[in-house]
Amino acid sequence: MIKLIATDMDGTLLNAGHEVSEENIKAIKAAQDQGITVVIATGRAFYEASSPIEPTGLKVPYICLNGAEVRDESFDIMHTSSLNREMIEQITDVLNQDDVYYQVYTNFGIYTEDPQKDLDIYIDIAEHAGQKADVEKIRNHIQHRIDQGTLKVVDNYDQITGRRGEIVMKILAYDADVEKIERVSKQLAQHSNLAISSSARGNIEITNAYAQKGIALEEIARQLGIEMKDVMAIGDNMNDVSMLERVGYPVAMENAIPEVKEYAKDITDTNEHSGVGKAINKMLVENQKHEG
Please report, for the domain that includes residue 239, its CATH number. 3.40.50.1000
Domain that holds residue 287: 4-81+211-291
Q: Point out the domain boundary residue: 171, 188, 208.
A: 208
Domain count, the chain: 2
Q: What's the rounded mean pLDDT across residues 34-55? A: 95
Q: List for the chain the helix, strand, coil content (%; round to 5).
A: 45, 20, 35
One-letter identity of residue 132: K
For the stretch 163-207, pLDDT in tens is: 888 999 999 999 989 999 999 999 999 999 999 999 888 899 999
pLDDT score, position 120: 79
Read off the pLDDT band of 139 (50, 70, 90).
confident
For the stretch 106-130, pLDDT in tens is: 999 999 998 888 887 777 766 665 6
For the stretch 238-275, pLDDT in tens is: 999 999 999 999 999 999 999 999 999 999 999 999 99
Q: What's the rounded mean pLDDT across residues 22-40? A: 98
Q: What would you measure as the largest C-alpha separation in the chain, in angstroms?
A: 62
Read off the pLDDT band of 26 (50, 70, 90).
very high
CATH code of the domain covering residue 92: 3.30.1240.10
pLDDT score, position 40: 98
* Residues facing residue 63 across a β-bridge: 41, 70
pLDDT score, position 200: 83
The DSSP annotation for 141-208 comes to HHHHHHHHTSEEE-S-GGGTTT-TT--EEEEEEE-S-HHHHHHHHHHHHT-TTEEEE-SSTTEEEEEE
Q: Are strands 231-235 and 168-174 parallel, antiparallel or unpaired?
A: unpaired
Domain match, 92 and 196 both: yes
Average pLDDT, the chain: 92
pLDDT score, position 152: 92
Instruction: Output the CA torsion 279→236→55→282 (10° steps).
Output: 0
Q: State the pTM of this model.
A: 0.90
Domain match, 203 and 182 both: yes
pLDDT score, position 126: 66
CB 71 within 8 A of CB 62: yes
Read off the pLDDT band of 141 (50, 70, 90).
confident
CB 78 within 8 A of CB 62: no
